[in-house]
Amino acid sequence: MQCHIIGDMTKLRVVLDTNVLVAAARSRNGASFALLTALRHDQFRLLASVPLFLEYEAVLKRPEQLAAGRRSLAMVNAFLDALALRLEPVSMFYLWRPQLRDAADEMVLETALNGRADALVTFNIGDFKAAEKFALPVIDPAAFLQLLRHGEN
């Protein structure tokens, strides 16, 4: 994976699929929650576009997600505010559609491509097969966490 220089440190630029945030909201024990902790410690650079961030908000505020994570709307709003402070905004200059079977995943891929991401992190790796033609690595949260922990970024 190629890295970009940000400030005086080299950090991977990454797009997180919504399912990673959902997993982190549901459990503090998995790789997804550990990635949010790594983000808080500035170990990688999170990229997000407006459409992707709006999806994060819509999904995390669904009643079933609130219940599963035992969170209130106020808690989700506070989380999203904190997340917004940590991310690098991506402008969608070019739409690459259609590339994927699921139209809902298109904006995740487009955010990664427009943001020149080093990786797209998701639990649904098979849904992003088209990323191969753009040389964009698609990895799961545990694999990305291992990269961060082993300093291979």
Q: How confident is the prediction along the chain (153 residues), in pLDDT tens digits per residue? A: 544 433 434 799 999 999 999 999 999 999 999 999 999 999 999 999 999 999 999 999 999 999 999 999 999 999 999 999 999 999 987 666 666 566 778 889 999 999 999 999 999 999 999 889 999 999 999 999 999 988 744
- List CB contacts of 28: < 8 A, sequence separation 6 or more: none
Q: Does a cis peptide bond (omega within 30 degrees of 0) precede residue 137?
A: no
The predicted structure's pLDDT at residue 10: 76
So what's the pLDDT on residue 101? 66
Count of structural domains within the chain: 1
**Structural contact between residues 131 and 112, judged by C-beta atoms closer than 8 angstroms:** yes
pLDDT for the residue numbered 7:
41
Torsional class of 116: left (φ above 0), alpha (ψ -120 to 50), beta (otherwise): left
**pLDDT score recorded for residue 93:** 78
Give the three-class secondary structure for 54: helix
CATH code of the domain containing 65: 3.40.50.1010
Question: What is the model's pLDDT at position 103?
Answer: 72
CA distance 81 to 150: 30
- Identify the pLDDT of residue 8: 34
| Residue numbers of the domain that contains 51 | 4-149
How far, in Å, CA of 135 to CA of 102, rounded? Answer: 20
